Structure 1
């Protein structure tokens, strides 16, 4: 036989891939997408709308009827001024609008009194779940801190139905301009 050159076979090395870095990256990606998913959820605020009430007197609007004594309006002016009144200014439920201060013995006390008054009245009509409706009207001269303070008062006094409105009637503008 012929002497053929022998084929030299290369020695196969044990190939081993270190997956530690890939596992670390995959865990980081999982955590990242979990956090992003949690942060992208919509944050919503509960909305409580007043019931339509067929017995409402002069307070009927296009969206239904609301008893005027359930309404409590808070006007925010400059220099931490607060003017409040019950009902509609054209048909006031109280003698006159009041100017009061922020704090425990100021606006909070009046809101709690109004809330209790409306709850008692609505309970006598057989509608104990209908409470006070607070309308907050910040003027262009009021500051953001005052608005946040009023919203804090709504949370502290547990007012369920309130709204922030920025349109003023001429009478309300005159109230804020006086003094």
Structure 2
């Protein structure tokens, strides 16, 4: 037979894959998903509501926190009317007051201090008044800024600006 060329055998290299990086990435993904699942769980806390009986609601104003709410109505010509509680059963009746140190600031500081003292006696320190600011369409921008400045000066953190008036509040602003 003729000399057949010999088959050249290739040298086999060992094929080895380094999985160190893959293991690191998989552990990072596991940790990531464990943390996101834990953070995605809804957190709940207890909500302490007052007793809902007619006597407590009628005499102490405790059902909706009316004793903590102060409403400020801003009208035209620097008109400022304030009341505590609800308008149909006010704790402090509506009255016209002036802006500044001797007016609204003194009232807010006094009411906030009395509510803070009262809530500290009940075992809930730090719960001051809630101010509801209602600027009318005739109110100028300066009056709204002045009231917001008073919130900062008196250190009242809980306040809301609402532009919805009840018919009684509209009549109150128009009458005074």
What TM-score bracket applies, with the shorter chain setting the length? 0.5 to 0.7
Secondary structure of the structure 2 residue equivalent to 1:93: strand
- Give 5+ residue unaligned stretches, structure 1: 1-50, 60-64
1:152 aligns with 2:149: yes
SS in 1 for 2:159: strand
1:87 maps to what in 2?
85
Find runs of 4+ consecutive structure 1 residues off by over 6 angstroms: none
Over residues 46-74 of structure 1, what are the superposed CA-to-partner deviations in whole Å (9 max), with x where a residue is unaligned?
xxxxx954116549xxxxx6421100000
Per-residue CA deviations over 1:59-95 (Å, capped at 9, x if unaligned) read: 9xxxxx642110000000000000000011112112x
TM-score normalised by the chain length of structure 2: 0.66
Once residues 90 and 128 of structure 2 are traced to their aligned partners in structure 1, the CA distance between those partners, rounded to angstroms, is 18
- CA gap 1:55/1:170 in 2 versus in 1, 3 angstroms: same
Of 100, 106, 118, 2:115 maps to 118
- Contact map agreement 1:85 1:98 (CA 8 A) in 2: yes
Alignment of 1:131-146 (within 5 A): 131-146=128-143
The aligned residue for residue 77 of structure 1 is 75
Cα deviation digits, residues 14-69 of structure 1 (max 9, x gap): xxxxxxxxxxxxxxxxxxxxxxxxxxxxxxxxxxxxx954116549xxxxx64211
Unaligned runs of 5+ in 2: 1-45
Of Structure 1 and Structure 2, the greater helix share is in 2
Residue of structure 1 in register with 2:172 after alignment: 175
